[in-house]
Structure 1
Amino acid sequence: MDSTGTLSSLSISEDGEYAAQLNGKDLTIHLNPTLPEFQDVNIVKVKESASKFLKFSRPNSPSSVLSNKDDTVSDRRILWASDTRILVWQLNPLQLHAEIESVEPGATNIDFGGDQNEIIVFHAWNTKLTVFGMDTGRSQVVKTPKFSHSNGFGYRPNKRQFAILLKPDAADLLTIHEFRSYALIGRAVLPTVDAQGLKWSPDGRWIAVWDAASTGTKVLIFTADGQLFRTYTGLPDSDPVFDLGVKGVEWSPLDGRTGKSELLAVAMVDGNVDLLKTNTVSVPPDDSLTRLTNQFTCSVSLSHMFNIDNSPSIWRERCIDGRIEYAEASGSSAFSTTEASGPPRGLSIMTFSPDASLLATVDQTRPNIVWIWTLKSRPNLISALVNEHAVRQIIWHLSNTELLLTTANNVVAAVRYWAPDCEPKIIQIPIPQSETGRYDIRWVVSDQSDHSKFWFGTSEDYAVGSLSAEDGIPHFEVVNSLSTKTL
């Protein structure tokens, strides 16, 4: 934001299919920026220059985007909001769909709700949440939300019931509401000191809630209607004196065979990751007996203390003749100089591959290293990427086992690429250098070609393209680029 308070920025939709440029009162919307033709450009006027939020509605489901983009474009919308007004346009054909005036100033978050017909507004100081139904003209109010960020609430996959953490007084509450009507389905007073967040499982069967790290390990598992099912308090033989608590949790994607989320990863403050099985598993120790293991008990714990006996593939960033690249390194040389001083602080990033066979993590004690684990029969570390700067972002492709990451590098605009059975690559991107080193990446979800497209850039400059090789040297092939400087 510049000194006049006018937002000048670029916004890319969550699936990478659309882009918008905002400069003062001019909002430029690109409907097909990932195609070489790049023809559908529309400009609309907003009513104020002091903008706060600019967001695209989400696709109904990833599968609908992957199958046929034309089926969803007519349903997609874009939201612009100032401190007192909300405007919503539908994208195809581009036209103003709704306007909400006299919004209370100081909103901490404004976004689409359960679908593109809902707008949710978190009011100042989290006094209440208002849900506006654009197709009905009615609004619903939920009082005292605990957080306005994404860990404080969530919509159930497919059925879209709404779960939210509330803090009306000294106790934390979890409430679950019907889609659209927001009628109360379930209400639970949480046995927590200070609940830190909630997450629906991708199959919509469970809600995980985790408590503050200061209370030790406590993850509560609720059913979809708000009944407490299980409480995870750590490994059975763990010493409570050394229990530093939970940093966060992450569900594995849906298993293609069972249609269920099979794992819940619990990131501990001590840097370990406890993997909890979501189903009861039969383990036959012999021909006549069957031992049952309980749901949501720890099946394995991953440690970020490097063990040279694992023999993973270690790659370290280096600069040769002005070009940065990864070179294979021994474990001792790669990790010997990267251990940070001070107490452990847990994981900053934890994300599953699309088939849940791999897990990528970044431990805050060594924020420049990406750890890649296989979760097959015997989970273990298979690779590590040692970078010169702290890792900012890691994203897996939605359907292919391809990993992109960025680092906080204010010298070179570059993306790091990793995939199984090939050497990782560092590719420079031809966009203006960012003084802060804050580059973002986003896959184009519907692109399943051999050279999948992705976005790379900042709030002022973005390029979309794919990786290719010329004379064996990888480079980024630009399809299109956007810049607020050209508006």
Structure 2
Amino acid sequence: MVTVSRDGDYLVHVYGKELSVHSAIPVEGSRFLQSTKLAEPLVSQLKFVKVSPLNISGDDAGARAYAEHEEELLNLVPDQRILCATSNQISIWQINSLEWHADIENIEPSVAAVDFGARDNEAILFHAWSSKVTIFNLDSASSLVIKSPKFCNPSNQGHGYRPRTKQLAIILKPEASDLLTIHEAYSYQVVSKVVLPTVDAQGLKWSPDGRWIVIWDAASNGTRILVYTADGQHFRTYTGRDDVDNTHDLGTRCVEWAPLKQRHQSCEYLAVGKYDGTVDLLNTRTFSCFTTLSHTFHISAQSPRVWRERMSPEGKLEYAEAASSSAFIAAGSDSTSQLPRGVSSLQFSSNGNFLATTEQARPNIVWIWALSTPPTLETALVHEHNVRNMSWNSRNSQLLITTSNNTLSVVHLWAQERSPVIAEIPVARSETGRYDITWVKSSDRKEAELFWFSTTDDAVLGHVAVDADRGYASFNALHVVSGRGNFL
């Protein structure tokens, strides 16, 4: 089992009875930090492995990004923790030293999901059948319960912690109506309770500046986006564009906030992905739509460059510029006839200048939009297989992409300043075509950007080297972690 921390700094590998920790930044010349033996029942019943998020202040984060030496970096980084859990037991270690920190035993069985809470001294458990959420405080050895969460799987986005101040917002379903409750940070006392005017709320998201909570309703109720203030006051309901006939509105499939703008530390856009394959961009002053992006390619003299994946004469995958008129004829090798329509993913670049989208009508294509005035389609990347993951670099306009290619392990890289490239990765291919990608946020700014490429059992750390003249890309592996228990 392989788990990478959200910032990419650490990788946790469990193989047999051994748990090992690897660092993206070498420590005393080695990226292998520590290992320990797991005891039963963790070995035979392990279900969850999590790494606590990095909670540091803005000043510390800035200093960390500009740290020039390993010793300086280690002094700035707090000691994160690892959580390993079965269906009824949790064990937690310090990540740098692998010193045991805490055990939580005799948990009510049928746990659906486990993760760290607002900070690394909290564990939050979602029980099956949405019966309750239990939050454990590791320092005080106490716990509290929130009953009737609407979702028992965090991937449903039914809860979220407010950026910086860590108040918890969660959607409950105690009876017939959806209920939004907001809880004070760390004590979890209820500070606001709101009965939602929804048919079937699908999830919530805090804005990156912590000012707003957005909740979207089921598609059967058309486009219905509810915006609340941080203390639970209703601010606005968006039901679609006023200048468009919404009689046959197919509703909302996903939403995403744009990142903070450095100049005024506020969020400018909310993107609403809809089941009709369009994206409404709302400004966050009035939450009204200022433009709609459509996944329909219009051929004209100003058509953007389109790149298509192909096999080169040397037997390597590469991108080749395609004629706009033929770029979208094939919809990929995977069957899409049974897939639901609609926008399936929305991802803003770190500076908010670009938006990458995919949609289910043609799930093998990544559309990249330039959020200029007005927003325009920058380019489209057409692949032979469905797109599985997309990840923007946190410092520049580089986008990593993986597809459901179960024949070759490759990563696709788009960068603003050059043509896109494809590089083969020295990792055993996945039978399911499932690969994960995580940028390393603490990469040295003077060197190439590092990322982890991982499957369920294997992982490799490295970067893509591009020969711009030849249009050739290769992957430089710096550290390999193998499912056979070996690492290089």
Settle same-fold status: TM greater than 0.5. yes
Structure 2 equivalent of residue 10 of structure 1: 2
Structure 2 residues without counterparts, runs of 5 or longer: 65-72
Contact 1:416 1:425 (8 Å CA) reproduced: yes
**Counterpart among 129, 142, 146 of residue 146 in structure 2:** 142
Equivalences, count: 464
**Shift in Å, 1:369:** 0.4
**Shift in Å, 1:98:** 0.8
Structure 1 equivalent of residue 222 of structure 2: 216
Structure 1 pair 317/222, CA: closer, same or farther in 2 (3 Å)?
same
**Shift in Å, 1:275:** 0.4
**Shift in Å, 1:347:** 1.2
User: Within 2, Cα distance between the matches of 1:451 and 1:199?
Assistant: 33
Structure 2 equivalent of residue 37 of structure 1: 30
Q: RMSD between aligned alpha carbons? A: 1.8
Q: 1:55-454 to 2 correspondence within 5 Å?
A: 55-61=50-56, 64=60, 67-68=63-64, 69-71=73-75, 73-147=77-151, 148-150=153-155, 151-279=157-285, 295-309=286-300, 310-321=302-313, 322-338=315-331, 345-447=341-443, 448-454=445-451
User: Within 2, Cα distance between the matches of 1:218 and 1:361?
Assistant: 21
**Shift in Å, 1:31:** 4.1
User: Within 2, Cα distance between the matches of 1:375 and 1:17?
Assistant: 30
Give identity over the alignment, percent: 47
Structure 1 pair 311/32, CA: closer, same or farther in 2 (3 Å)?
closer
Is structure 2 residue 29 aligned with structure 1 residue 25? no
User: Within 1, Cα distance between the matches of 2:47 and 2:63?
Assistant: 33
Say which SS state the counterpart of residue 260 (structure 2) adopts: coil
- Name which of structure 1's ranges 202-211 and 142-151 shifts more when overlaid on structure 2: 142-151
Say which SS state the counterpart of residue 30 (structure 2) adopts: coil
Matched letter for residue 476 of structure 2: E
Deviations 1:115-166 (Å, cap 9, x if unpaired)?
0111101112111111111112221111000113140100000000000000
Structure 1 equivalent of residue 69 of structure 2: none
User: Within 2, Cα distance between the matches of 1:66 and 1:475?
Assistant: 31
Structure 1 pair 61/401, CA: closer, same or farther in 2 (3 Å)?
farther
- Name which of structure 1's ranges 393-402 and 25-34 shifts more when overlaid on structure 2: 25-34
User: Within 1, Cα distance between the matches of 2:62 and 2:326?
Assistant: 43
Say which SS state the counterpart of residue 455 (structure 1) adopts: strand
User: Within 2, Cα distance between the matches of 1:32 and 1:258?
Assistant: 32
**Shift in Å, 1:301:** 0.5
User: Within 1, Cα distance between the matches of 2:453 and 2:163?
Assistant: 28
User: Within 2, Cα distance between the matches of 1:118 and 1:342?
Assistant: 41
Contact 1:250 1:350 (8 Å CA) reproduced: yes
Matched letter for residue 39 of structure 2: V
Say which SS state the counterpart of residue 133 (structure 2) adopts: strand
**Shift in Å, 1:92:** 3.3
User: Within 2, Cα distance between the matches of 1:344 and 1:477?
Assistant: 38
Structure 1 pair 26/405, CA: closer, same or farther in 2 (3 Å)?
same
User: Within 1, Cα distance between the matches of 2:350 and 2:57?
Assistant: 12
Structure 2 equivalent of residue 289 of structure 1: none
Structure 1 pair 449/109, CA: closer, same or farther in 2 (3 Å)?
farther
Structure 1 pair 342/84, CA: closer, same or farther in 2 (3 Å)?
closer
User: Within 2, Cα distance between the matches of 1:91 and 1:73?
Assistant: 11
Contact 1:19 1:33 (8 Å CA) reproduced: no
Matched letter for residue 190 of structure 1: L
Contact 1:74 1:93 (8 Å CA) reproduced: no
Structure 1 equivalent of residue 47 of structure 2: 52
Say which SS state the counterpart of residue 486 (structure 1) adopts: coil
Contact 2:273 2:344 (8 Å CA) reproduced: no
User: Within 2, Cα distance between the matches of 1:398 and 1:61?
Assistant: 16
Say which SS state the counterpart of residue 242 (structure 1) adopts: coil
- Name which of structure 1's ranges 394-403 and 43-52 shifts more when overlaid on structure 2: 43-52
User: Within 2, Cα distance between the matches of 1:233 and 1:273?
Assistant: 13
User: Within 1, Cα distance between the matches of 2:57 and 2:158?
Assistant: 23
User: Within 2, Cα distance between the matches of 1:248 and 1:397?
Assistant: 22
Structure 1 equivalent of residue 480 of structure 2: 481
Matched letter for residue 458 of structure 2: D
Structure 1 residues without counterparts, runs of 5 or longer: 1-8, 280-294
